[in-house]
Every structure is written in structure tokens, then in C-alpha cells.
Amino acid sequence: MKTKRSILAFVVLIVAMLACQSLPLSNEQPVSVLPPVVAVAPIDSNAENPAAQEEGLVALYENVSPGTVAIITDQGQGSGFVYDAQGHIITNFHVIEGAQTIEVRFTSGFMAYGTIIGTDTDSDLAIIKVDAPAEELHPLPLGDSDSLKVGQTVVAIGNPFGLDGTMTVGIISALGRTLDAIRETPEGRPFTAGDIIQTDAAINPGNSGGPLFNTSGEVIGINRAIRTNSTTDTGQPVNSGIGFAISVNIIKRVAPVLIETGKYDYPFLGISSMDSLSLVVVNELGLSPYTGAYVTEVVSGGPADQAGIKAGSTSTGITGLLGGGDLIVAIDGRDVRTFDELLAYLITNKGPGDTVTLTVLRGTEKVDVTITLDKRP
């Protein structure tokens, strides 16, 4: 994926990486330097006075936008935000992938070259570092994605189509989604990126790597991709109201390690599962009324295999579906309804070498299985 028109197949639609092909830069004059970023009072989404809500959004933008940046490379454009006072900038890996030069443009008009410090192709994250004066560095506060609720108002700020400093507003549409990772298994299949936020805030090519905020002005995610079947006349994907962001709790776990070591190792369980179980599948497998993560494949020699987790192996009345596999219904005492939930817990709470206890339904019996996690190969 060497061009920032990158588009990933996603079912019959398109999940498009949101970096933008290079566009002419604006000739606008630099604006004055703003004071350091501080958290703003939450916007009252229930306020009867629309003017009060408007004022809240204006205040939020004025406070957080100095911490957002546009990223321009010889490959295309994207977005990012200031992580700390040492000049570390967070963006998506696909924004800087293959770039020979990286230019970081601040809202004040200040520009600096960026150097890649660390990359994470599993979650599509990258850390770059700039040499900038202290007055240009406005680190943004990080929120807690575990506290998010569907329906909450969110704000995206970024560089769509080269239009830096663009703000859009929407809601959290869903939580705990998964996307294909950029990195692939040794067999050529993509790993899974979990704990993804779905939003209807308008994000487009060039928004990649930009922050998604709550109404308190805290970063709750990094915009990564959209799902769409619409494109411009130049082939770039167009927002259709389904966007995806990497959760901030992944960022909080990964970013410090990337800064220190340049890479991050994700936990590896060594199983494959169906995304969700339909009632037809549940009945065919004899699992009703249970739901969870049904194990369709176990990696030979992997942690799950060594612990005795079983994949489906017997024929069923549904083509391609094998019965007799374990159904994971809980992890460390937390209920598991889908494979997405299992992945989100592992990615945000565990690392290689940690142990987890899976509660599995095996036939009619519930069994607890303790597994020591490895790192993704």
C-alpha cells in the first residue's frame, strides 16, 4: 500500500485507508500561536439552548486544534496530533508508509520535518518526532475508551482532501468493532485489529491519523478508515456515515512502548473464529441458547493448541461449517458474546507472557482453560 488512495476490500463494500493523495498546499497566512491546550468543559448535549451547544463546540475547537497537525509526505497527506512536549506526534502507519520525507504542519503555520520513531502495523499506528519550539507543542489529553457509550457526541479534526483544520461532528455508532490489520500471518492472512470505534462523524481521505474527541476535548481515538461503496471521479473513497477509529486505550498502551523500543508486540492466542453466530449456526452446532466465540481453527503449536483448546472437526449440515469445536463464553470471568469482544479484551489488557483463563462450552460441559499468551508471529 504505497499510495494514499489505499483501499481495503471489506465484504462487498470498501474499507478505505483515509490518507489522501497529495494536493496543493493552501496559500493562507499563518495564524497567531494559541495558548497551550487544556481540557474544556463538556458540551451539554441535552441543553435546550442550541446557542450553548454551538458555543461549546467553538470552545472545544479553539482549545484542541493547536494540538492537531497535518502530515504531508512524498506519498500523500494525512493527519496527526501532538502526544507530548518532547515533540512526539501520533498518526496512522499507512500515512507515513514508504515515505522518504515527512512534513508536519501545525495550525500556527509552523512546519517541521518528522522522523519515524516507531511503527505498529497491527493497529496501524506510528510515532514520528519533530524538532519544534515549546510554544508549538500542545499535547492533547487522552480519554478512556472503556467509558464510552453508543450515542455519545464525538468530534473529528483533521486534514481531509488537504483541507487542514477541518472539524466534523457525529456520534459513536458502535463499539468493539474489528478491522483487518495491515500485517499478515505467515500464511498470508491479515491479523485482526480490535477495539475499534465506529462513528458517523464525517471523515474522508486525509483524516487518517487525526484525533477523534469526546465533548470534554479528550482524544478517544485515531481515525483510521471508512466503509463505503462511493468514490470520487479520481477514485478516492467518499464518506457514507460509517467511519472507524482506533481506541485511545490501545494508543495509551502502545505509544509509550513505540517511543521506547520502536515496536510493539501483541498477544497471540492462536485461534480463528467466526465473526458472529447466527441462530441457524447456533442450532446446527447444538449450542443454543449460548453465544460466544466459536473456535473454527487452532494454530498448531500455538498457545491455545498447547492448552488443549479444540476447533470444529465434524461435518454439519452447513457447507464449510465443522462442529464439535469449543465455544468461548468468558475470559478471565468476563462474558464473551463475540470474537470481537474477546480480541478487544486481549489487545487492551494483555501482552505476551500473560495468562488468561478461558471458559469454554465443550459439548454440554463448561470447562476453564488457562493459557499463557505468546506474541504474534
Q: Give percent above pLDDT 90 in the chain.
A: 64
pLDDT at 24: 28
The four Cα atoms 361, 362, 365, 368 give a dihedral, to 10 degrees, of -60
Q: Which three cell numbers stand for residue 168?
A: 466534523
* 14 pLDDT tier (thresholds 50, 70, 90): very low
pLDDT at 190: 86
Q: What type of residue sits at position 247?
A: S
Q: What is the CATH number of domain 267-375?
A: 2.30.42.10
Per the CB < 8 A criterion, the answer to whether 296 and 328 are in contact is no
* 32 pLDDT tier (thresholds 50, 70, 90): very low
Active centre residues (catalytic):
94, 124, 208
Per the CB < 8 A criterion, the answer to whether 111 and 137 are in contact is no
Provide the residue ranges of all domains of the chain, joining segments of one domain with +. Answer: 1-28+38-264, 267-375
pLDDT digit string (tens) for 132-177? 999 999 999 999 999 999 999 999 999 999 999 999 999 999 998 9
pLDDT at 43: 55
Per the CB < 8 A criterion, the answer to whether 290 and 361 are in contact is yes
**What is the value of pTM for the model shown?**
0.81
Classify residue 30 by its DSSP letter: P
| Fold of the domain built from segment(s) 1-28+38-264 | Thrombin, subunit H (2.40.10)
Closest CA to 106 of 157, 71, 58: 71
Q: How would DSSP label each residue in 159-200?
A: -GGG-TTEEEEEEEEEEEEEEEEEEE-TTSPEEEEEEEEEE-
Per the CB < 8 A criterion, the answer to whether 87 and 114 are in contact is no
What's the CA gap between 96 and 102, in Å, rounded? 7
233, HSE (Cβ side, Cα atoms, 13 Å): 0
What's the CA gap between 237 and 230, in Å, rounded? 6
Question: How many CB atoms sit inside 10 A of residue 183's CB?
Answer: 16
Instruction: Give me the mean pLDDT over the 308-331 stretch.
Output: 92
pLDDT at 44: 53
* 284 pLDDT tier (thresholds 50, 70, 90): confident
Q: What type of residue sits at position 278?
A: S
Q: Which residues are CB-neighbours of 343 under 8 A, at least 6 positions away?
A: 178, 192, 194, 195
* 281 pLDDT tier (thresholds 50, 70, 90): confident
Question: How many CB atoms sit inside 10 A of residue 39's CB?
Answer: 14
* Phi and psi, residue 62, nearest 5°: -65, -30
